[in-house]
Amino acid sequence: MGGDLTPALLAAPVWTDAMVAAAGIPIRDVELVTVGGGIGSFVLVDQLRIAGLPASAIRVLSTIDQPWQTYQYLTRVSQIPEHERIRSDSASTPDNIWGFPSYAVREAFTASTLRGFTRPLWQVLTEPVLSDYYTPRVGTVFASMAREAARIDWPSMLVRGQVRMVRRRAGGGYLTILTPPADGSESMPTLRLGSAPRRTAAPAELAPATRRIAYRSRFVHLAVGYPGLRFLPDLQEYRARHGDVRRVVNAYEPHEHVYDELVRHPATVVVRGAGIVASRILNRLINDRDRQGARTHIVHLFRTYVRGAHGPSVFMRRRGGDGWAYQGFNYPKSVWGGQLKARMRELEGAERRALYDAIGGTNTPRRRVWQEQLARGRREGWYTTHVGEVHTLEPGPDGTVVTRMRTADGMLEVPAAYVIDATGLIADIREHRVLADLLDHSGAGHNPLGRLDVERTFEVRGTRSDPGRLYASGAATLGGYFPGVDTFLGLQIAAQEIADDLASVGFGQRLDSRRSVTQWVRWMRNQPV
């Protein structure tokens, strides 16, 4: 086996090429490395390729085969199959930097009936006054990204492996350490949706006997997503103590057995959470009652119960009721290109955090089908709610799990066959190995929300290694100067900012109007960049 990290390398904040060579780690040269390989990496690479950069200047270091793979997993386990719609608007198109044709227009022109043609167009014209917000089907999003991945030659830039760390390099730029797959495989994955990719040879950069590879680059981009699942302390304690991972589950982990069992046998299920994922879980449980004859009793636990419209001022009030805070998207639409975006760019420290607190928080879209289902459940008695703070979970009789919670009326015990936690994903960036190393050794810091501190250009503050730059986008940067970072459109806006900053230091060119028009025509014709 080849070279590996040494104590000297692990301790040094700045590495020389000689230190890496002495450790026996081979060095590969490329202009830009993007770490993650998900949608954040994809939209930046798409932007740079459309602007004229060759594929040979970019390497994508990733553990996944396709850019949408992690998102596809999360949507599937959180009860959004590919024929269902997601919480994203018509013009948020990660496969298309221009946003036109939007998803609604595409859906209209691929419809086989007049009603299918007019419905999405009418919906976007009348949302949200006469219609719910239009949102695309998740399968459409995956298929369109597959088409674009093939067009920009994504397979030729992808290198499989686990990134261990990114360190500043003496003389400028960065060294990114990759652990290749254990079998030393150099084969590139096949894109499975949409158009078949052109068969391009994989970069011949991994040797089977190599334990680590160092990528030497001027520029690094981090788009690593969420570190993992977040379990509330009482749930985590219960699972650790009793080893029960079948009856107490997280909405973001596979738990189809819960729904299968509830269809076969009448039982009670506890749902915790008040966001979009909790909405989808409830929708699935009620659909199973309506379509498959399940006799499930649903107990929904709220920590905070929203009884009506709320907010810090008349101009920033959010609709609410029946426990839920309603909002069409993660944030008000003006954070992507209006007054809230401009205002946030001017705020620092506590003032920025205060604005995040005002416009953020747990919320879900107010969709008519969910409202009707829950109202019917309350009338018929099979959907009940409780408000309070959960104290403990304990095993109960007949294989049940008893949730003990403090309410305004005292301690309440809720026995159930299953508990589904829909409270979210891990937000602590220290849970991610690469980000933790960046904080410890490369000068990075925290923003007012505790995530990675970035400039307005998405350069990670404190990590510059001239003439190089290190950027980050996505969930790890929430709390910066741009709020909507963990959305399709937010990732695209971040990619534009990064691409413009790269062009300002001589890496690539800004996308001018002439090239933009010609590239849009090539996109429409599905021709390579």
Least confident of 50-64, 278-292, 334-348: 334-348
Q: Which residue has the higher pLDDT, 339 or 270?
A: 270
Q: Which residue in 162, 140, 150, 121 sits closest to 45, CA to CA?
A: 150
- Which residues, 6+ apart, have CB-to-CB distance to 282 below 8 Å? 271, 298, 300, 370, 373, 374, 383
Average pLDDT over residues 147-153: 98
User: What pLDDT was estimated at residue 353?
Assistant: 94
Least confident of 136-145, 182-191, 383-392: 182-191
Q: What is the pLDDT of residues 322-380, one digit of tens each?
A: 888 888 787 788 888 888 899 999 999 999 999 998 887 788 887 888 889 999 999 99
User: What pLDDT was estimated at residue 478?
Assistant: 93
User: What pLDDT was estimated at residue 227?
Assistant: 77
Q: What is the pLDDT of residues 295-322, one digit of tens each?
A: 999 999 998 888 877 766 656 677 888 8
Report whether pLDDT(193) > 60. no
504 token code pair:
């300002």
Largest CA distance in the chain: 73
Q: Cα(281)–Cα(259) distance, rounded to whole angstroms? A: 10
φ and ψ of 200, to 5 deg: -110, 135
User: What pLDDT was estimated at residue 73?
Assistant: 92
Report whether pLDDT(93) > 80. yes
Q: Cα(188)–Cα(341) distance, rounded to whole angstroms? A: 39
105 neighbors 89 (Cβ within 8 angstroms): no
pLDDT tier at 101, thresholds 50, 70, 90: very high
Look up tokens 């894109």; give the residue. 191
CA angle 186, 187, 188 (to 5 degrees): 115
- Which residues, 6+ apart, have CB-to-CB distance to 209 below 8 Å? 1, 2, 184
Look up tokens 């879209």; give the residue. 365
Q: What domains lie within the chain, and their CATH numbers?
A: 7-42+54-71+142-227+428-493 (3.50.50.60), 87-136 (no CATH), 233-328+363-421 (3.50.50.60)
386 token code pair:
């409780």
Beta-bridged to residue 384, according to DSSP, are 299
| Rounded percentage of the chain residues whose pLDDT exceeds 70 | 93
Q: Cα(509)–Cα(498) distance, rounded to whole angstroms? A: 12
Residue 467: cis peptide before it, omega within 30 degrees of 0: yes
Radius of gyration of the chain from its Cα atoms, rounded to whole angstroms = 24
> Please, what is the angle between helix 138-151 and helix 69-77, to 10°?
170
Report whether pLDDT(248) > 50. yes
User: What pLDDT was estimated at residue 230?
Assistant: 75
Least confident of 19-23, 224-228, 254-258: 224-228
Q: What is the pLDDT of residues 456-493, one digit of tens each?
A: 999 999 999 999 999 999 999 999 999 989 899 999 99
Distance of CA 10 to the CA centre of its chain: 30
Q: Which residue has the higher pLDDT, 345 or 184?
A: 345
Report whether pLDDT(195) > 70. no
Report whether pLDDT(186) > 60. no
Q: Cα(287)–Cα(290) distance, rounded to whole angstroms? A: 5
Q: Cα(230)–Cα(169) distance, rounded to whole angstroms? A: 34
Q: If you average pLDDT over every residue of the chain, what do you get?
A: 90
Q: Cα(149)–Cα(54) distance, rounded to whole angstroms? A: 14
Least confident of 126-140, 392-406, 490-504: 126-140
Beta-bridged to residue 343, according to DSSP, are none
| Rounded percentage of the chain residues whose pLDDT exceeds 90 | 73
Q: What is the pLDDT of residues 196-243, one digit of tens each?
A: 333 344 455 554 567 899 999 999 999 999 877 777 888 889 999 999
User: What pLDDT was estimated at residue 365?
Assistant: 82
